[in-house]
Structure 1
């Protein structure tokens, strides 16, 4: 028998994943939207149409305003702006197009609208989740501090961001970390003055960002700055529909197990053991965050199929944050979370971490398999709609509980989407391979690669030499040499079978010729579709 959460997804219809190609470039976001309506892929929504009209205007400004064009040749973005506009690089002087800040309830279509716009834009652009963006800002500032750079670090960081794309699209802007709150105004001031055009989505209007946060008075100057450079647009209406729930995938997969359901525990453990049963492959794993190199411990992991197991307390009961969860999401493909409890007013920190964890897993196309005390919509028992439900409603702690419940709505909707067969199929087919996975390609000459990188002729590759090998393989098959430390770490763990800290040619050959059952087959076996409805 299906539990209630599985039944809520049993509606027909085809859902569009946010990373799925929404359309080919066809003359602007409004035309693209109407084409999707005509093709029967989405329903026409008057509120979304109104928002798409704002995106259409910005699209036109980016196309036809000379001040928004990309620089020619090797000239940097900032240099070209200074040359064309009298040596100043402030947005007030060069009158760059005003960005957009789109807010609305969970599932209202914020990300869908922004992604449709983003796909049509041909100018210099970048899209990133807000959590990941702020982590990159902290990392860059830290690096500049260590370099003792003479340039204003915020100006330098703004130049770095701008070089990656003048149009900056930020998904899910929310501020919960005081470290972000303290620097966000100055960071965005530098970006706006450098000519950056920001488009952001959020569950909150600007005035409600970082609501009840510590030292919020230091954050508040960011609000008028954001409203000055970004037009604020709402996707709210009285009859708001969560399209991620209504336009279900037609069937669900067994990735959310509820304690009260018959055989749920056995099914969860069976699913876990299919991926993590081999004691030779399953072991502890230590990852490192990109910002500070902090260690993140995975109590049980099988790197051959990129699966990891945690209890809820291991993930959300200690002081982990967005950087830790991002390291997990980028290293693992399947994440098991065991024992998610019902959270009340005493569990606000754990609830916040759980929400941040789901954000990281969702944005990196991870599969999350959960064993929980109840359905997602009942995991957090706080009534955000009732401002006077008890005398405690006037104290700070209860206001924070209602604030967290608002964010939890997004998590519930995401869990719904992540439980659909369409999401899981997309995750399996579109998750980019690790560089070490590419070593299994039959046309690669592993011996030649090894010999070319064994620069000291020691017969062993150390960590730096292995990183160079993986970078070569990545460039050959993925078109870039960017191999994060997590990938190198995973590769060393898989290849170094004798644990001496080096990889010899025989270890490399053994991995290539005797690699275990592929993760796709394991994925299909361990997480079957539900046909017994």
Structure 2
């Protein structure tokens, strides 16, 4: 099977990728991990006598340093992760989106606690590590205290006790994970663990390749209808590289809000989340819900925003809180609406204050805003 670097160079030579020094440096480092993992897999194919001896004297495999790739949206992190996983010629590998992985972890912990009274982390880590030598994550982000509390212990068990090699991507450097989060001091050992056990590789070139993909497509479509829906649908498939003909199989997700609540995300892929206005603003929600969304997704597609009057003052107030969260975290917003931002809410409690939200919505359509990195402070 081809090496990561060779495959990357082949794609550049064929014109499918633009030359990018940061991407190539990352491909070199991923290639090193690939070679070490494949060599270890070959060494592990022992003869009969060696296998019998290993059962009598089991030995933990040697640890292989993993990779933490971070950078702004559209810098090629997921593309490189795909190349690495596709080229890695071992059977004991797993590729999973980070949100999906954490849902699995919480479910395993819940079952362990139901079945026994001891610490659930050790058996959960052992179960996850079973048959896995390399665990590849996309879009590592810590959005709630429940995840933050278990990350350090779980990943220490995976990497140190079970010698699982972690390769992951994130929009943030390790030191900015769960920034300003509740009880963040309990999360700091995880940051130390990443910086000690993984090679941190930055991809922060000047080009946002995802923005190149959407070209001159607008981000606000009014009025609502089939044409507007078709436009944001095209945006989703361009940003995620998901085949439109396979639209029925776009993955969904449950985004945790604290320890006991979650938000259903009808379409969730590669940091892009699709929501309806009715689900986000027509139901009783507050700032924690919207902050979780803003931290988890670099791009939000919001469909069906109505023109609001006095009878929808609650929906308008929630919408203001949602937009504030998205704006402060520099989330890209694509929307279908009955009207433009300036005429969404002209009369009702808070309509005067809504002018600030309309101004933010207009700014969020600008090239300057679109070029900002997700999650960074203004």
Q: TM-score, normalised by structure 2?
A: 0.64
Q: How many residues align?
A: 304
- In structure 2, do the counterparts of structure 1 residues 166 and 269 end up closer, same or farther at CA, with 3 Å as the change threshold? same
Distance 1:335 1:214 in 2: 27
Say if 1:142 and 1:45 are closer, same or farther in 2 by CA, change over 3 A: same
**SS, match of residue 32 in structure 1:** helix
Q: Does 1:257 align with 2:227?
A: no
Matching residue of 1:83: 54
Q: CA deviation at 1:221?
A: 0.8
Q: Kindly indicate whether residue 192 of structure 2 is the aligned counterpart of residue 224 of structure 1.
A: yes
Equivalent of 2:100, from 128, 132, 145?
132
Deviation at 1:203, TM superposition (A): 1.4
Alignment partners' CA distance in 2, 1:111 and 1:211: 22
Is the partner of 1:212 in helix, strand or coil?
coil
- Contact 2:36-2:64 at 8 Å conserved across structures: yes
Question: Which of 196, 201, 213 is the equivalent residue of 2:181?
Answer: 213
The aligned residue for residue 31 of structure 1 is 6
Partner Cα separation in structure 2 for residue 353 and residue 166 of structure 1: 39
Partner of 2:78: 111
The corresponding residue for 2:19 is: 44
Partner Cα separation in structure 1 for residue 324 and residue 150 of structure 2: 22
> 1:183 corresponds to which residue?
150
Matches within 5 A, 1:109-508: 109-123=76-90, 124-148=92-116, 152-163=119-130, 165-192=132-159, 193-237=161-205, 240-246=206-212, 248=213, 256-258=219-221, 264-267=222-225, 271=229, 309-311=276-278, 312-314=280-282, 317-318=285-286, 320=289, 336-338=303-305, 350-351=325-326, 370-371=336-337, 373=341, 378-379=363-364, 406-407=373-374
Q: CA 1:190–1:297 in structure 2 vs 1: closer, same or farther (change >3 Å)?
A: closer
Output the aligned Cα RMSD: 4.8
The secondary structure found in structure 2 opposite 1:181 is helix
Q: Unaligned 5+ residue runs, structure 2?
A: 231-251, 266-273, 295-300, 307-314, 342-357
Query: CA shift at 1:95, angstroms?
Result: 2.5
- Structure 1 residue matching 2:223: 3-state secondary structure: helix
Q: Per the alignment, do residues 225 and 295 of structure 1 end up closer, same or farther by CA in structure 2, a change over 3 Å counting?
A: closer
> Does the Cα contact within 8 Å between 2:4 and 2:87 map onto a contact in 1?
yes
Give the TM-score of the pair, scaled to structure 1. 0.47
Q: CA deviation at 1:378?
A: 2.8
Quote the Cα distance in structure 1 between the aligned partners of 2:46 and 2:105: 24
Asked if the contact 1:58/1:99 (under 8 Å) is kept, the reply is yes
Change (3 A) 1:88 1:324: farther
Q: Matches of 1:164 and 1:321 in 2, distance apart?
A: 37
For residues 226 and 153 of structure 1, do their structure 2 counterparts lie closer, same or farther at Cα, with a shift above 3 Å needed? same
Change (3 A) 1:352 1:186: farther
Unaligned runs of 5+ in 1: 1-24, 74-79, 259-263, 273-286, 299-306, 326-333, 359-367, 385-404, 410-533
Distance 1:32 1:315 in 2: 48
Cα deviation for residue 165 of structure 1 reads 3.0
CA distance in 1 between counterparts of 2:320 and 2:229 reads 32
> In the alignment, which residue of structure 2 is the partner of 1:101?
68
Distance 1:356 1:236 in 2: 17
Alpha-carbon offset, residue 120 of structure 1: 0.3
Residue 246 of structure 2 aligns with which residue?
Answer: none
Query: Which structure has the larger Rg?
Result: 1
Contact 1:178 1:213 in 2 (8 A): yes
- Counterpart-to-counterpart distance in 2, 1:107 and 1:270: 24
Checking the alignment, whether the CA contact within 8 Å between 2:220 and 2:365 is kept in structure 1 is no
Q: Residues 406 and 349 (structure 1 numbering): CA distance in 2 closer, same or farther, change over 3 Å?
A: same
**Map of 1:280 onto structure 2:** none
CA contact (8 A) 2:73 2:171 kept: yes
**Offset at residue 63 of structure 1 (A):** 1.1
